[in-house]
Chain A
Amino acid sequence: MGPRYSRSIETIPGQRERLPGGEDRRQAEMLAREPRERILIALAELVAKRGYKGTSVEHIIKRAVVSRSTFYENFKNREEALLALFEQSQAELTARIAVAMKGAPDWPDSVIAVLRAFLDYTAENPAVARTCLVESVTVGSAAIDRYERAMAELAPIFADGREVAGKASDLPEALEDMVVGSVIWLVHQRLLRGEAKRIPGLLPTAVEIATSPYLGEKQAATLAASL
């Protein structure tokens, strides 16, 4: 969704074209958003760049162009703001995954759809992804709980592969947790190195990891190679 400009801008002919460039443009676009949204955007950008420890409320309010009182009207503290960002991005990702899975005819196609949706979302929102997947574990126990819940929510998607395998009882109990952990780690490392653009390219490896315990190495490799 693009920036929303206030009605006053829309009614003045040519005003949009006269918006300043560079940082001024960024600030103008920021000001067109609601304060809460500005705070969350600023938080994600700053935490991705400076780390959670290095990001103060002062930094956030300056970047979000809000007052200190506005910040505290919206959030009790930085941690609460980060948890809100996590919830928001989780909701967006869940919606995206649901849409992606709708057209999938079978389990392997579902896995491909889910992983593609996840990797693409991460690559398109690197600051949010880095804040949620990399920095959140440095915040405190509430954020760590949220992170672990998000991982746990992804696992059942892969568990349907046990029916495909036909030997569900032989497979490790925590297999789906390990599949999720594998994919998250690969993304985590690319985000850490500032290589968000390379994340979609992980799809074949991620699909092979996710399907090999259920389909077997050969079939998983063939599926990955077809992508």
Chain B
Amino acid sequence: MRPRNLRLKMARDQDPDERFPIAAEGSPEQARLRSRLSELLHDTPYVEITIKDFLAASGVSEREFYRHYGSLDTCFTELCRSLMQEAARQTFAAYAAETNWRDGIRAQIWSSYEFLVTDQTRSRICVVDVNFAGDDLLAIRDLFMNAFIELVHLGRHERATAVETPRARAEAVAGATWELIAAPVRGGRFELLIEVVPQILYMLYLPYLGETEARTELKRARDEVDRRRSNRASLP
């Protein structure tokens, strides 16, 4: 049975501040250290950065660093947490701004694309580097994924059928979305991301809207890709 006032329920259920424990802003010194780490990450993957590298590049003394953070992993975890929270706010807000699930999913995926291409270092941190800092960070990533899965799973109300689409289906298509996005980001091939958007939308819609509508959305998204490319080409 379709919940009443679905939109409000969805928006409330996906409040990023509820889903992601807000990282304490911390002291200005901690913020400064996170900012310096972020700068280092422009050129070097996190897995290759040692505490010595960080101290040398940032000009911070070992004593000063350990006054604020217990380890480089802790500093990095806080940095990632803030970035993922930013991602959640932006993309879930895009979803909640729409009045129905179909438009909401479309808006969210395009918002995710915008988030990824706007700042490539930030994207690499959220998608690739996040794997290298331990279980706390992976737990935050999984919180993000579970929130996305819940949104996708709301699609089960779209069909006028007695057959319930299991949550595992939403898990599966959300996982496929992650893999399709992760591969170009890992390879630094951000120009490929726009091509995967229509394919992601097709896969997300297929279990809930059926093949005909999924193909309609695939074409619609491809047209949008062409429009964006055309707009970009016409820029001076």
Contact = CB atoms under 8 A, between A and B. Distances in A.
A188 B172 CA distance: 10
B206 A185 contact: no
B172 A217 contact: no
Nearest to B222: A172
B174 interface: yes
Interface centre among B142, B169, B218 (most CB of A within 10 A): B169
A137 interface: yes
Contacts of B186: 144, 148
B176 A182 contact: yes
Interface string B169-201: 101111111111001001000000001101110
Given A138-B132, A202-B168, A216-B211, A185 B199 contact: no
A185 B207 contact: no
Given A51-B135, A177-B180, A181-B176, A172 B202 contact: yes
Interface in B33-91: 45, 47
A217 B207 contact: yes
Interface stretch (A28-36, A87-95, A105-113, A205-213): A205-213
Contacts of B135: 51
A73 B174 CA distance: 43
Chain B interface size range: 35 or more
B166 interface: yes
B contact patch SS: helix
Interface string B143-178: 000000000000000000001001011011111111
A205 B168 contact: yes
Contact of B199 (A174, A208, A216): A174
A205 B211 contact: no
B45 to A, nearest CB: 8
Q: Interface on chain A toward B: helix, strand, loop, or mixed SS? A: helix
A140 B169 contact: no
A175 interface: yes
B176 A148 contact: no
A174 B200 CA distance: 9
A172 B218 contact: yes
Given A138-B131, A184-B175, A202-B168, A175 B199 contact: yes
A184 B171 CA distance: 11
Contacts of A170: 215, 218
Nearest to A170: B215
A215 B144 CA distance: 32
B203 interface: yes
B94 to A, nearest CB: 22
B169 A178 contact: no
Interface string A133-175: 0000110110010001001000000000000000000101111
User: Considering residues A148, A178, A179, A188, which has the most beta carbons from chain B within 10 angstroms of its beta carbon?
Assistant: A178
Nearest to B209: A217
A179 B176 contact: yes
A178 B215 contact: no
A183 interface: yes
A7 interface: no
Contact of B176 (A185, A189, A205, A212): A185
A202 B179 CA distance: 19
A186 interface: yes
A18 interface: no
A96 B131 CA distance: 30
A53 interface: yes
A221 B195 CA distance: 29
Contacts of B47: 140
B59 to A, nearest CB: 28
Interface of B: 45, 47, 131-132, 134-135, 142, 163, 166, 168-169, 171-180, 183, 186, 195-196, 198-200, 202-203, 206-207, 210-211, 215, 218
Sorted from nearest, which 10 A-B pairs have the closest CB atoms? A185-B175, A181-B179, A182-B172, A172-B199, A181-B176, A178-B176, A182-B176, A138-B131, A205-B168, A174-B199
12 contacts: A51-B134, A138-B132, A144-B186, A151-B179, A172-B198, A177-B179, A181-B176, A185-B175, A186-B168, A186-B175, A189-B171, A213-B211
